[in-house]
Structure 1
């Protein structure tokens, strides 16, 4: 049965009752979710149906049983989250924008519910559960040096493991003829078509380029490989800059690319400025979604509004952007062109490419129609 809400605790601490005592621990959530107010302690006797019911009611489950059983329980809860209600007969198809928002709401609710299965972690990143693996390296890569015991959702913890494996294995980037190793919280270049566009576009100069919002550093590395003598790559996220530094070092390009922590532009002007902003206007619901969702198109607008002032005479700005937002009814082509015009920019050319990712061919995806029509474009822009 769900317990009563715990007494008020520090905003970053989880509090619960166990064995008649009030306990608390630091709460860890990369998505900034607040600590659950209701917590029950459970072990291997808890059924998946009971766990899913508690989670949907907003009650967190602090796990004291076997770690592998917790992982199996999370998988069983995930299967319950995927159950679809029966379709209404004779109803008209919903507009794609409404379908998108309903899809986002369902994703957020699923993430909240699955995030209710909690795991204790000790000071040295040891997990005090039977058959728990050693996740010290994965935790250190994501969180940094240990700062004391904490409680975290199993879902987040497994995300750290997945990120560690991606970082170790790397992502092959054919246009770069090399691998990119994404770090935790930094968006992986698994959709390689936008990289291909940057590989194909004619360079206006090879002396200097700015890469705005570098992320893993993949585009900065590609520009250097294409012969640009010096690249200044910016990002406001320290994790992204550390990831880019790692990748540039692996590729032997450290001396060609300067990394700078900045919100958008570095000082000065360049003959080429490249930016691959988040493609969808909207509010991220997770840290990694900042690479997908751009609240109020802030980064897009900031890049466009500052571009003319940061281009050398005769220079170009390359905007890499999917038109998925247009097919979802989130931003029209007319709105995008108006942003160009308001920033005093003209379009020199546009290179297009079709996406190759699996969801573009997945007819069961609720957003299939929009994904199937999607184009990714490299807009070559210049001051009017």
Structure 2
């Protein structure tokens, strides 16, 4: 797919640059170069679809973005709308509000030259962060929302510092840009604690479907699984997993391959942690959270029995948040398991430990507070 270009006029000259908005922000319909502006006026113009091409001090742009965000929060509070009648309505309202925030705040724009440099006062050096996200500079100027750029910088810091994983005794995993960070450690604890299937003694092979950062493959390897084949369709994810495996000296234990779910053959253990919410992702960064029509989940279940050796198990790591939000029912999940020729061998449950589960101000608090994350042990129903 061809990358869209942003065209604008400045000082009577026509300009063009690649539009680089990885968070789903839409191409502005019109652009206005600015070097200073009050937050109210910026919010008004951005809400009307005007892209604000920032030409002033970089740190002032960050302050303006924060002030615009605060105006949006205040406007939402002033509406004083009645609470949604159902959890599903609350979820739909939440996603609508998120989309509005991306659209409006995404109108404050920053230009990078063909070497990933920002020609603004007090601008940071983002060359390394951009190279990690998009590859080496190709000489083409780019324009992107400041909000996207700040997210990219944050991803670079995550990659540099790493994320400590309790299930790996504090070992750090280094997520790459566009690859979901394993910050929710409770599901990793389940994988670290679940009893390994006895079939691994005779068939010492496991599959990890949707490898991401590689963290589940690393947990399995650290638990003594002799060979893991890990798959993903995302080249970003495969590169990230390769990086982490190399850091930990596990490249001889884990084989990475680009595939849609299953590699060829059978294994004694097949692990899958699909996106937990059946909704359409609107950006690359949302693909780890939203699984439209539960496609990955259902694909895993329908293909599992054929890829298990005798006595093998499939481990499905799944939150029931979708059930509490009215996006999927427990009966649907059980029906998919049965229709796939599978049976439940056991289940390990845990409660979320992240901050939103305790934040009563969160619009989805009721569902998050009731959420349970489970490791379903599945076997072929012979």
Superposition TM-score, scaled by structure 2 size: 0.95
1:138 aligns with 2:129: yes
Cα distance change, pair 131–275 in 1 and its aligned pair in 2 (3 A): same
Mean Cα displacement is larger for which, 29-38 or 93-102?
29-38
Find the aligned partners of 2:3 and 2:364 in 1 and give their Cα distance.
Answer: 37
1:194 aligned residue: 187
**Structure 1 segment 1-384 matched on structure 2, within 5 A:** 12-44=4-36, 46-83=37-74, 84-86=76-78, 94-147=85-138, 148-177=140-169, 178-204=171-197, 205=200, 207-384=204-381
Find the aligned partners of 2:143 and 2:278 in 1 and give their Cα distance.
Answer: 33
Deviation at 1:86, TM superposition (A): 3.7
Mean Cα displacement is larger for which, 26-35 or 313-322?
26-35
Q: Secondary structure at the match of 2:124?
A: coil
- Stretches of structure 1 lacking an aligned partner (at least 5 in a row): 1-9
Deviation at 1:22, TM superposition (A): 2.2
Number of positions where the alignment pairs a residue of Structure 1 with one of Structure 2: 373
Find the aligned partners of 2:298 and 2:83 in 1 and give their Cα distance.
Answer: 36
Find the aligned partners of 2:296 and 2:325 in 1 and give their Cα distance.
Answer: 19
Find the aligned partners of 1:185 and 1:34 in 2 and give their Cα distance.
Answer: 18
Q: Secondary structure at the match of 1:355?
A: coil
Deviation at 1:110, TM superposition (A): 0.5
RMSD: 1.4
Mean Cα displacement is larger for which, 317-326 or 46-55?
46-55
Contact 1:11–1:35 (CA under 8 A) maintained in structure 2: no
Deviation at 1:47, TM superposition (A): 1.1
Find the aligned partners of 2:19 and 2:288 in 1 and give their Cα distance.
Answer: 25
Find the aligned partners of 1:298 and 1:213 in 2 and give their Cα distance.
Answer: 13
Cα distance change, pair 88–72 in 1 and its aligned pair in 2 (3 A): closer
Find the aligned partners of 1:92 and 1:38 in 2 and give their Cα distance.
Answer: 35
Q: Secondary structure at the match of 2:318?
A: strand
Find the aligned partners of 1:188 and 1:88 in 2 and give their Cα distance.
Answer: 35
Deviation at 1:93, TM superposition (A): 5.3
Find the aligned partners of 2:267 and 2:61 in 1 and give their Cα distance.
Answer: 53
Q: Secondary structure at the match of 2:218?
A: helix
Deviation at 1:187, TM superposition (A): 0.3
Contact 2:23–2:148 (CA under 8 A) maintained in structure 1: no
Give CA deviations for 1:179-210 in whole Å, capped at 9, x if unaligned: 11111000001000000000111111251100
Give CA deviations for 1:323-379 in whole Å, capped at 9, x if unaligned: 000000100000000010111111010110011001111111111111011000000
Q: Secondary structure at the match of 1:107?
A: helix
Deviation at 1:32, TM superposition (A): 4.8
- Stretches of structure 2 lacking an aligned partner (at least 5 in a row): none
Superposition TM-score, scaled by structure 1 size: 0.95
